[in-house]
Structure 1
Amino acid sequence: MTSSSAPAPASPGAPQPSGPLRRLTARGRDETHRVASSLELFFDLCFVVAVAQAGVQLVHAVAEGHVGEGILNYAMAFFAIWWAWMNFSWFASAYDNDDALYRVVTLVQIAGVLVLAAGLSRAATQHDFLLVWLGYVIMRLAMAAQWLRAARSARGAERTMARRYAVGVLLCQVGWLGLVVLPEPARPWVFLVMAIAELCVPLYAEKDHGTAWHPHHIAERYGLFTIIVLGETIAAATVAVKSAADEHNALAELLPIAAGGLLIVFSAWWIYFVVPIHGHLRSSARAFVWGYGHYLVFASAAAIGAGLEVAVEQAVGKAHISTLSASAAVTLPTALYLLTVWALHARHFKVGVAQQLVLPVTALLVICCSFLGDWAVFAAGLVSAAAVAIGVTLAARTARRERAADATAAAG
């Protein structure tokens, strides 16, 4: 936003306000001030509905002692959510022209994810994937339509790439039908095969021509979704604590969990955003690894909230699991989050062995906190906060040394 009443000039490649329908052409990677649109933010908020539903099913399964089944169902559901979100986000970064048709098709995709979210409970409890599959049909048909529209405006290798995307999306959607029609024992294998096939579509489609995604915009989109998922984690944990306190009057037992959970989420936010990652996303190879790796970042961040709910239920006697299991429901996803953020983000900006070891060692210590009984979550929160403090201290010390070296060089 600018203080002037006159509209700011559009950046090269930015969508031009020329009418309700415009050609869907690639935007430029050199656009200045490229930020997420209000439609993209709305898209993210609607997707969090599905994330919340996946978390609810994970809580129920773990609290009832069905840990393996719960984690498998959560991994499958979260992959479907994350993959649909990621497909749209990268496409929008390259082709968003914000005309009426683009908006309508995007709203159709939002409707699809809401249908998917409505079917997650039946998929987890009754292994009925029909509603989930129908939601995915809606989302993926809309996504294929976007790619075909982009192909119509493109030429040469770019047109071939867009058509490959459209065909790949449609063929994979046919493959997902196996979750509906095949016997239940075969469905995990169907999921595995189709997940690999989905991951291969972008690699195949872009082998001759890459999309013109914007590094700063993509980094912002992923960061915003991380914030929304962490916010959902706080909301879920808060509701669980309130409900348990009201029903069981066990506020003293819940305070360590609430305080530790808050410290974990605050630390998770700080650690993710301590460095600007867009400068690292300068090649397709790096971008693919970074983008795909965020499945673990998002899934673990959401699972922290589910783990906090499990810990609350165990503390008031509602969960049929041990204290160790309830603690691990928080500490294990926290450790996974720390390790994946380090691998994707932090390690590219750390200087020296000490800085590089902060997050991996913190992840190990967080896991060790699982054995501290009722104080496990609080201890994990303290360890996470200490990691932030140590990281800030080491970074400040390195910055002072660099300034001193620069000053010495200038004086010499």
Structure 2
Amino acid sequence: MTGQRGGALLRTTSSAERATFLELFFDLVFVFALTRVSQRLVADVDGAQMTTGVLRTLLLFLVLWHVWTITTWVTSRYEPERVVIQAVVVGVMFGSLVLGVTLPRALEERALAFALAYVVIMVGRPLVLVVALRGHPRRMVPVRLTGWAAATAPLWLVGALVPDLRLPLWVAALAADYLGAFLGWPLPRIGPSRIRSWLVAGEHLAERYQQIFLIALGESILVIGVSYSGERFSGRSAAAFALAFGVTALLWRLYFHRAGHLLAEALRLAGTPGRLAESAARTHLFMVLGVLTAAVGYELVIAHPHEDADPRWLVFVVGGPALFLAARSRFEYEIFGRVSRSRLIGLAALVLVAPVLTTGPAVLALGVVAGVLALVALADARRAQGAPPESSASPVGREALGEAGPEA
């Protein structure tokens, strides 16, 4: 009887594939949290050691991404309309809000609050599922997650309490958390449960990845609006404002043109959908990071449209869209098994033109980026014109489920 009650938490073939309103509510926290990431990156540009500052902010972003990703996999495996699952999501939502609030000073005086919020999320979420799934064989998956989270928790807490050891301990702890997810959180005697062998709700996962990408675009729109509203209006600042919006719209177009729409189909057709979903999660990490990096560039250009482009600014103005294009090329391969030549040419053009852009105004650099992305989008449109819509032909996850091993 206990196992039956626990089994009622699992998704079935009759479960709704669409993301629930609770999940959309949960995502609102990440709109706020991602703005904290971009604001910290802007501060890093003005710092004496920009590279170190950016890497420290990247660490904090990866914490947020890990929380969002694991929560998404939870709602894809378990029935999100169940009260227990809703309580888990709301609890993680509050913890994520604490992470966002403390993030600007998470490596300084707010380190303990940041670490405590993360540890409570990572230990508490699977622990609740262990109790709720009592008597059901699937409970061994959250048992593994609880064990790994408990093992890395001391590193987070000691790092928060000892400033001199904070950065190395947190890097080690986060690396262990990501390694655990990659290996399937193996524990002595019970082994791993690799994500690629999980039975997943493909349409649900595809929609969630699309939504986190749209959240990153929404954060960009927020940055553009807030930056421009706080500046004195001028011809160049207006041009920077319009170009920043144009780049954001092009990123949306380039993401959703075919591949972004076909992720659900690719997951449905894959022999091991978990393998494709695992790969797509990593790809979306870099696409979202590219969008956030570009948003920092927007703010810098809107604030300094008359100044020559600082080489440090180009890391964001050009580097963000270039990172997006590189990740989007990988995404295209995941869905179609090939990469469009136009994307590779666009990526090469951004890399090659970046050194030249230091001799002109910042708004010119943003205009060049918009031009390159527009040409890639135009090439997509021309290739699709008059041709039948492409179907997914993903080379990722072609193996039969039996070859991937049973789900634990």
Alpha-carbon distance between aligned partners in 2 of 1:216 and 1:401, rounded to the nearest angstrom: 18
Map of 1:55 onto structure 2: 38
Deviation string 1:381-406 (CA, Å, 9 cap, x unpaired) is: 1211111111121133654999xxxx
Q: Which residue of 2 aligns with 1:324?
A: 311
Shift of 1:360: 2.0
TM-score, structure 2 normalization: 0.81
1:382 to 367, 371, 376: 371
Deviation of the 1:217 alpha carbon? 0.7
TM-fit CA distance, 1:149: 3.5
Q: Is the 8 A contact 1:264 1:380 kept in 2?
A: yes
Could you say what secondary structure the match of 1:315 adopts? coil
* Matching of residue 26 in structure 1 with residue 10 in structure 2: yes
Per the alignment, do residues 77 and 198 of structure 1 end up closer, same or farther by CA in structure 2, a change over 3 Å counting? same
1:335 corresponds in structure 2 to 322
Q: Please give the root-mean-square deviation of Cα atoms over the aligned residues, in Å.
A: 2.7
SS of 1:213 mapped into structure 2: coil
Amino acid at match of 2:125: M
Counterpart CA distance in 2 for 1:106 and 1:347 is 29
Matched, 1:221 2:211: no
Find the counterpart in structure 2 of residue 290 from structure 1: 280
**Counterpart Cα distance in 2 of 1:177 and 1:335:** 36
Measured at CA, do residues 380 and 97 of structure 1 come closer, stay the same or move farther in structure 2, by a change above 3 Å? closer
Distance change >3 Å, CA 336–CA 384, structure 1 → 2: same
Distance 1:93 1:400 in 2: 28
User: For 1:367, which of 341, 351, 355 is the aligned residue?
Assistant: 351
Work out the CA distance in 1 between the residues paired with 2:374 and 2:124. Answer: 43
> Offset of 1:307 from its aligned partner?
1.7
Output the amino acid matched with 2:32.
V
Q: Where does structure 1 lack aligned partners over 5 or more consecutive residues?
A: 1-20, 403-412
Amino acid at match of 1:230: L
What's the counterpart of residue 409 of structure 1? none
Q: Secondary structure at the match of 1:244?
A: coil
* Alignment match, 2:151: 171
Q: Which of the numbers 189, 205, 218 marks the counterpart of 2:168?
A: 189
1:300 aligns with 2:290: yes
Contact 2:155 2:170 in 1 (8 A): no
Is the contact made by 1:46 and 1:113 (CA closer than 8 Å) also made in structure 2? Answer: yes
1:273 is aligned, of 256, 263, 283, to: 256
Report what 2:305 is aligned to. 315
Change in Cα spacing, 1:92 to 1:289, as seen in structure 2 (3 Å) is same
Q: How far apart, in 1, do the equivalents of 2:75 and 2:292 lie? A: 24
The corresponding residue for 2:402 is none
1:142 alignment counterpart: 124
AA aligned opposite 1:335: A
Q: Return the alpha-carbon distance in structure 2 between the equivalents of residues 50 and 296 of structure 1.
A: 17
Instruction: Give identity over the alignment, percent.
Output: 21
- The count of aligned residue pairs is 367
Q: Which residue number in structure 1 is paired with residue 397 of structure 2?
A: none
C-alpha separation in 2, matches of 1:24 and 1:139 = 23
Query: What residue is the counterpart of 1:235 in the other structure?
Result: 222
Distance 2:90 2:372 in 1: 42
Q: State the distance in 1 between where 2:15 and 2:127 align.
A: 28
Q: Distance in 1 between matches of 2:50 and 2:80?
A: 44
Using the TM superposition, give the Cα deviation of residue 231 of structure 1 relative to its aligned residue in structure 2, in angstroms: 0.9
Q: CA deviation at 1:336?
A: 0.2
Deviation at 1:369, TM superposition (A): 4.4
3-state SS in 1 of match to 2:348: helix
Deviations, residues 46-103 of structure 1 (Å, cap 9, x unaligned): 1221111111111112134542123112211110110000010001100134233322
Range with greater deviation from structure 2 (282-291 or 49-58):
282-291
CA distance in 2, matches of 1:346, 1:401: 13
- Residue 34 of structure 1 deviates from its aligned partner by 0.8
Whole-Å Cα distance in 1 between the matches of residues 154 and 78 of structure 2?
26
Distance 2:235 2:353 in 1: 20
Q: Is residue 2:231 matched to residue 1:244?
A: yes
Shift of 1:153: 5.0
Structure-1 residue corresponding to 2:383: 394
Q: Normalising to structure 1: TM-score of the pair?
A: 0.81
Bigger mean CA deviation after superposition, 65-74 or 45-54: 65-74
Counterpart CA distance in 2 for 1:152 and 1:338 is 45
- Give 1:293 deviation, angstroms: 3.0
Gaps of 5+ in 2: 187-191, 392-408
- 1:26 maps to amino acid: L
Quick check: which has more Rg, 1 or 2? 1
For residue 288 of structure 2, what is the amino acid of its counterpart?
F
- The SS at the match of 1:177 is helix
Deviates more, 1:288-297 or 1:225-234: 288-297
CA–CA distance in 1 between the matches of 2:200 and 2:128?
15
State the AA in 2 paired with 1:148: V
> More deviation in 43-52 or 323-332?
323-332
State which of 102, 109, 113 in structure 1 corresponds to 2:85. 102
Q: Is the 8 A contact 1:150 1:162 kept in 2?
A: no
- The alignment status of 1:68 with 2:58, answered yes or no, reads no
| Aligned match of 1:132 | 114
Note closer, same or farther for the CA distance 1:109–1:33 as it changes in structure 2 (3 Å cut): closer
Q: Is the 8 A contact 2:159 2:169 kept in 1?
A: yes
- Distance in 2 between the 1:135 and 1:121 partners? 15
Is the 8 Å Cα contact of residues 120 and 132 (structure 1) preserved in structure 2?
yes
Tell me: CA distance 1:121–1:322, structure 2 relative to 1, closer, same or farther (3 Å): same
CA deviation after TM superposition for structure 1 residue 41, in Å: 0.4
Whether the aligned pair in 1 keeps the contact of 2:6 and 2:133 (CA below 8 Å) is no
| C-alpha distance in structure 1 between counterparts of 2:352 and 2:244, whole Å | 16
| Code of the aligned partner of 2:349 | L
Structure 1 ranges of 4+ moved more than 6 A: none
